[in-house]
A and B are shown apart, each in its own frame.
Chain A
Amino acid sequence: MSKNPLMRTWNWIDNRIGYSDYIVPLMVHLVPDSARWWYIFGSATLCAFMVQVFTGVCLAMAYVPGGEKTYESLVYITNTAPLGNLLRGMHYYGASAMVMLAVIHMIQVYMHATYKYPREMNWMSGVVLLFVVLGMAFTGQLLRWDANGVWSVTVAAEMAGRTPIIGPTIAHFIMGGETVGGSTITRFFAMHVFIMPAIIFAGIGLHMLLIMRHGISEMPDANDPVDPETYKEKYEERIHKTGVPFWPDAMWRDMIFSTIIVGIILGCSLFLGPPTLDPPPNPSSINANPLPDWYFLWYFAVLSLLPPKLETWVILGVPILGFLGLFFLPMISNKGHRAPSKRPWAGGTVIFGSVAFLVLTIYGYKKPWSPDFGVKELPASVVGTDQGPLMEGAKLMHIKGCLYCHDISGYGGHRGPELTEIGKLLTRDDLIIRINNGGHNMPAFASSISSDELHLIVDFLLTRGVDQDQPILNGDSP
């Protein structure tokens, strides 16, 4: 028995709680030496989760989930509470980090086919965790209870409402009633702080338990495909020969990477700050432009690009099939090659998925999805004169909303085709027909425009791209 009183106290505690008996063996369990830097993403995801739990609990001490008080409390947290701005920022960037790391971790596991025998359930629990994390990200966006939050929940309810038969039930369940309002925010709060975190805690517990049970996988060997008959014995044999204790031989890498991640989260929060709050959450205010957070923007882009007929199927199909496909993946293939070099389809899938995600996200940010309500009038320099019928036509282009969608020499929206050179391309009659009847994605203006106005607009458009000095012909121009 040690003489040192500190040591004696520790021994007493250790004897009662069993730290040396239970925790130490877990810490020093043998892991393959080949893993190295590939395996840092899982622990970093866990670390980002811890950032979320801690900052989230702190924020919850000032956050009021109800009506306009919610918005006020957010304004208070952001502007008044000491370090509130920093905490909100960390919670926001922590969410991004967690989503990103979870996906990268999954891609790594997929590329190395670690989900094969005997680790099928490791993967399945991970897929459930991923979807709950996405759920956390989504409900979190709505807890930022400003105009964008309110309208995002409306959109989500509408999407769920498309489910055949039970759609309205789900939508009303999500909204906590028939409209978005007070009971919606309290519902989302309960989901975000109680239900989903509980699932995540339980999921992480299971995920870790399975890791301990089956051991961390080795780097794939192209000459040694997985055979469920022999895999376990071989693994045990190898790990006893070449394995290293997790603590500290492998864990130091996790610690370095996690430190970097937490540093980045803190840095972003310090230098970029939390997302700005939109106007208050008034469901009757129309001045909102709902856009999802970046990780869902690709989906937003997909929905906007689809032909309406397919839309409902994609809205419902992507999440459900995505989940089922991923979840049952190890059931479809749980043996055979693990090395990426032997699984070209796996590599192709990841590359295709990443490129699609990137392209759609960029598209989501760039594309004007809607009419641009804030466009300016065309200046005289573009019109070519500051008075007369030409200028009147140009003014009407603005008044009648043509410029919301059409761009002329850099002025106007981009939803519709550019009209800078339209005078060269279309005849007077073509233009009249198009404006009156609309078509494709353009409304018909016949009922909202007088014949005088129409002619002023057409006269103006016919000058676009045409040499201004030449007289403008009436009737059929070439």
Chain B
Amino acid sequence: MNSDQPTNETPCCQQQQRRTFLARLSIALSAVIGVIIALPGIGFVLAPVFRKPKQKWRKVGKLDDFKVGGFVLVQYEDSSSVPWAGITAKEGAWIRRASETEFIAFSINCRHLGCPVRWVDDPRLFMCPCHGGVYYEDGTVAAGPPPEPLQRLNVRINNGQVEIESGPTPLTLTKIT
């Protein structure tokens, strides 16, 4: 290419500009297509992360069903189940009638890594089948690796029914100091 031939240069550069424009246009449109496809999908998949934790009161039995004494296992539907969950929507808790009017309930999830703890009545201990975590009846750690006490759940008596407030699975979080 040289400046002696301006007639040739003009179409060449127009051609060049046109190509650059078309390339950019294609890239931009690809990005638009990508965004249109991806955004609804990403929103759909991430939605559960941003949902506000739901808490719901769930009936777990009549007041008279519970005797003062040790913990019993109760089952109820979790607070954010999907229609197809079936049996997997169940959640469990250990509940104890401490006195005529007072109930104590714990989530069954061990605070180490979430395995289901078992109440053993005679030694009055919760024991975890995974790594040997043990808790006293007030939920505090008695032995093993759990870093935190069992999570207390709210209990109330409503029209002669005992109700537990179901909520998210308790997570043991790393504290930033």
- Asked whether B101 is an interface residue with its Cβ less than 8 Å from the other chain, the reply is no
Q: How far is the CB of A402 from chain B (nearest CB, A)?
A: 8
Docked-complex contact B114 and A154, CB < 8 angstroms:
yes
Docked-complex contact B125 and A401, CB < 8 angstroms:
yes
Chain A residue at smallest Cβ distance from B142? A443
Q: How far is the CB of B111 from chain A (nearest CB, A)?
A: 9
- Asked whether A181 is an interface residue with its Cβ less than 8 Å from the other chain, the reply is yes
- Asked whether B36 is an interface residue with its Cβ less than 8 Å from the other chain, the reply is no
Q: Mark contacts of A158-189 with chain B using CB atoms, 8 A cut-off: 1 yes-contact digit, 0 otherwise.
A: 11011111011101110111111111111000
Q: Mark contacts of A18-55 with chain B using CB atoms, 8 A cut-off: 1 yes-contact digit, 0 otherwise.
A: 00000000000000000000000000000000000000
- Residues in B neighbouring A167, C-beta threshold 8 A: 171, 173-174
Q: Mark contacts of B130-170 with chain A using CB atoms, 8 A cut-off: 1 yes-contact digit, 0 otherwise.
A: 11101011000011110100000000000000000001110
Q: Mark contacts of A422-452 with chain B using CB atoms, 8 A cut-off: 1 yes-contact digit, 0 otherwise.
A: 0000000000000000101111110111000
Separation of A17 and B45 alpha carbons in the complex (Å): 40
Docked-complex contact B145 and A178, CB < 8 angstroms:
no
Separation of A213 and B67 alpha carbons in the complex (Å): 75
Q: How far is the CB of B93 from chain A (nearest CB, A)?
A: 8
Interface size of A by CB at 8 A reads: 72
Task: Find the residue from A179, A281, A286 having the highest chain B CB count within 10 A.
Answer: A179
- Residues in A neighbouring B78, C-beta threshold 8 A: 178-179, 181, 283
Q: A181-B81, A443-B143 are in contact. Are A370 and B176 (CB under 8 A)?
A: no
Docked-complex contact A182 and B88, CB < 8 angstroms:
yes
Among B89, B109, B136, the residue within 8 A (CB) of A443 is B136
Of A62-70, A106-114, A376-384, A469-477, the one with at least 4 CB within 8 A of chain B: A62-70
Task: Find the residue from A164, A178, A402 having the highest chain B CB count within 10 A.
Answer: A178
- Asked whether A349 is an interface residue with its Cβ less than 8 Å from the other chain, the reply is no
Chain B residue at smallest Cβ distance from A171? B171
Q: A161-B173, A171-B171 are in contact. Are A447 and B81 (CB under 8 A)?
A: no
Docked-complex contact A66 and B84, CB < 8 angstroms:
yes
Separation of A69 and B56 alpha carbons in the complex (Å): 26
Among A69, A157, A286, A312, the residue within 8 A (CB) of B116 is A286
Separation of A173 and B46 alpha carbons in the complex (Å): 7
- Asked whether A151 is an interface residue with its Cβ less than 8 Å from the other chain, the reply is yes
Task: Find the residue from B49, B93, B122, B127 having the highest chain A CB count within 10 A.
Answer: B49
Separation of A284 and B167 alpha carbons in the complex (Å): 13
- Residues in B neighbouring A168, C-beta threshold 8 A: 171, 173
- Residues in B neighbouring A56, C-beta threshold 8 A: none
Docked-complex contact B88 and A185, CB < 8 angstroms:
yes
Contacts between chains A and B (CB distance < 8 A), count: 210
- Asked whether B43 is an interface residue with its Cβ less than 8 Å from the other chain, the reply is no
- Residues in B neighbouring A74, C-beta threshold 8 A: none
Among A178, A181, A447, the residue within 8 A (CB) of B167 is A178
Separation of A178 and B81 alpha carbons in the complex (Å): 9
Separation of A311 and B130 alpha carbons in the complex (Å): 15
Among B108, B112, B127, the residue within 8 A (CB) of A404 is B127
- Asked whether A285 is an interface residue with its Cβ less than 8 Å from the other chain, the reply is yes
Q: How far is the CB of B136 from chain A (nearest CB, A)?
A: 7
- Asked whether A199 is an interface residue with its Cβ less than 8 Å from the other chain, the reply is no
- Residues in A neighbouring B127, C-beta threshold 8 A: 370-371, 373, 401, 404
- Residues in B neighbouring A415, C-beta threshold 8 A: 132
Q: A172-B49, A183-B82 are in contact. Are A178 and B168 (CB under 8 A)?
A: yes
10 A-B pairs within 8 Å (CB atoms) are namely: A145-B88, A151-B114, A162-B174, A179-B168, A182-B81, A283-B92, A284-B90, A288-B115, A303-B113, A373-B127
B interface residue numbers (CB < 8 A to A): 46, 48-49, 51, 53-54, 73, 75-76, 78-93, 108-109, 112-118, 120, 122-125, 127-132, 134, 136-137, 142-145, 147, 167-169, 171-174, 176
Give 10 closest A-B pairs by Cβ, nearest first: A182-B85, A284-B92, A67-B86, A178-B168, A443-B142, A68-B86, A161-B171, A448-B124, A158-B114, A401-B123
